[in-house]
Amino acid sequence: MRVVFIHPNYHSGGAEIAGNWPPAWVAYLAGALKQAGYTDLHFVDAMTNDLTEDALRDRLRELQPDVIGCTAITPSIYMAERCLEIAKEVCPQALRVLGGVHATFMYQQVLTEAPYIDVIARGEGEEIIVELVRAYAAGNWKEARAGIKGLAYITDDGKIIATPAAPTVKNFDAVEPDWTLLEWEKYIYVPLGVRVAIPNMARGCPFTCSFCSQWKFWRDYRIRDPKKVVDEIEKLVNDHQVGFFILADEEPTINRKKFIAFCEELIARGLPDKVKWGINTRVTDIIRDEEYLALYRKAGLVHVSLGTEAAAQLKLDRFNKETKVAENKKAIRLLREADIFTEAQFIVGLENETAETLEETYRMARDWNPDLANWAMYTPWPFSPLFQELGDKVEIFDFSKYNFVTPIMKPDAMDRAELLDRVMNNYRRFYMIKALFHYPWRGKGFRRRYLLGCLKAFLKAGFERKFYDLGKHNYWGPQSKEKVNFGFDMTRKIAPAQMADWQAASDRASQLRARKAGEAEEARTPVMACGGGPASHDAHV
């Protein structure tokens, strides 16, 4: 049974300016299949290798797989759909499977626009993919699919069916990713010029930020034994010469006890001398862990990206961040004192964005003085609470542009071109000051090399016009605002089946709220006895 995984060829000029990132999903699914006894596994990284459609055809024709698996985040969904359409042309007998966060929540939309997809795996894929491959190998997957949890598919009579949600992977420690399928020499972290990996210590997040979908996808929070995570990292370092890793977790510091144990295990094995690493986390965790930051740095943690999100408290409250503006500044100061590089993340581009609020984020970035700052365009994931709240204000349904760099929302006070120009103005001013007065002169040795490497990554992407998709948008500076073209495909719409699914979910939620409100009201209302007074618990009938 030959299984081929495909990573779709999608580029946006966002996070990839720092390097080519190894697709961790392949390693985790391949590991699950190997544990189940399937070893004829192959991987086609169309993104890293920038494969054309013809090249992908040739590769599939050569491999002739039995099962073809592809994944998609929201902006890569059309590329993923196209990969599986090509797969049907070249390998019509193969089972075509799509997974990932977008298809999990938008399966009605995906199966409507791409009916050549045989089945969608909804949610975590390790256990689902094993069940699917077993059913296909047995020759009765169509008969068996209704009994496999976590699937969506089209029946022979054209109905879209979703089986009950699959349980999350409870024994996370038993997950054994197989990293051998990846072409490691191609995954380079530009700031340090070393190979990069993205291992996973925990899944899930207890917070419910309104712009995010990850807490809905992973559902419950689970964390691996820190020693097992370090085993994996040690193997990545020794077997694949990885010199930098980023923990894929939404917030790896949630469980402080296990995060500290993870750091201590890295130190005990001497790994900080061989590999450095970074994380994304919340400012509140950094403030909480002030006394442990020196330990984190000793363990090799050199880069922390903070979800500061907004300079205005109003926006933080709307995002349901549960943080305060003043905490952002303090967290950055504490990290700087611990010699850990800081990256402040701002979300901009909602409908209430103005020139003044964008300027405020710049002033805050200068005042907080992080090593790096990133202004990400608000991207209204179609399965997030904030998307539903925005309603008709979302005009663009071309999901290929939902990439954090293209302004999906049009602010009331400016057009999208001006929004892009003002964001670029923030970048120009912030990094010009850093390039001239900070990076070359602040610190020495590793600190100086790392910061200059970050600057190199920005400059390289800028000169190539890849940063923020500026080349595709025809943006060359303030003088080109009138010529900016974001290339939205306005023919893209939400499928009626998806709208009906949303409406049904909304109705269920409304009914649940009404029922809870009724129960609460009933609990507040005293039970009346026959004589008109409150009944006592010991009243006689």
Angle between helices 77-90 and 53-63 (to 10 degrees): 50
* The token pair that represents 61 in the structure block: 């024709």
Q: Which amino acid is at 270?
A: G
Residue with tokens 């034994």: 225
Domains of the chain, residue spans: 1-160, 186-298+309-319, 348-512
Pairwise CA distance, residues 252 & 248, whole Å: 8
Tell me, what's the pLDDT at 211? 57
* The token pair that represents 359 in the structure block: 């300027």
The pTM assigned to this predicted structure is: 0.89
Tell me, what's the pLDDT at 292? 98
Q: Which amino acid is at 253?
A: T
CB 284 within 8 A of CB 254: no
The DSSP secondary-structure symbol of 384 reads: S
Tell me, what's the pLDDT at 216? 64
Pairwise CA distance, residues 29 & 150, whole Å: 15
Pairwise CA distance, residues 410 & 68, whole Å: 38
* Helix ranges, 319-468 (H): 325-337, 355-368, 385-390, 416-433, 446-463
Tell me, what's the pLDDT at 217? 67
Pairwise CA distance, residues 427 & 331, whole Å: 22
The helix/strand/coil state of 406 is coil
- Vertex 196: Cα angle to 193 and 199 (nearest 5): 165
Pairwise CA distance, residues 64 & 275, whole Å: 38
Is there a common fold for 1-160 and 186-298+309-319? Answer: no
Fold of 1-160: Rossmann fold (3.40.50)
Tell me, what's the pLDDT at 514? 65
Compute the half-sphere exposure of residue 41: CA atoms within 13 Å on the CB side of its CA: 24
* The token pair that represents 425 in the structure block: 């103005």
> What CATH number should be reported for the domain whose range is 186-298+309-319?
3.30.750.210
* Those residues with Cβ within 8 angstroms of residue 27's Cβ, 6 or more apart along the chain or in another chain: 177, 178, 179, 181, 182
Tell me, what's the pLDDT at 412? 94
Q: Write out the chain's pLDDT in tens, 541 residues.
A: 999 999 999 998 888 889 999 999 999 999 999 999 999 999 999 999 999 999 999 999 999 999 999 999 999 999 999 999 999 999 999 999 999 999 999 999 999 999 999 999 999 999 999 999 999 999 999 999 999 999 999 999 999 999 999 998 888 899 899 999 999 999 999 999 999 999 999 887 766 666 566 656 666 788 899 999 999 999 999 999 999 999 998 889 999 999 999 999 999 999 999 999 999 998 999 999 999 999 999 999 999 999 765 544 445 454 444 556 778 899 999 999 999 999 999 999 988 899 999 999 999 999 999 999 999 999 888 887 777 778 888 999 999 999 999 999 999 999 999 999 999 999 999 999 999 988 888 767 899 999 999 999 988 888 888 899 999 999 999 999 889 999 999 999 999 999 888 877 766 666 666 666 666 655 554 433 333 333 333 322 2
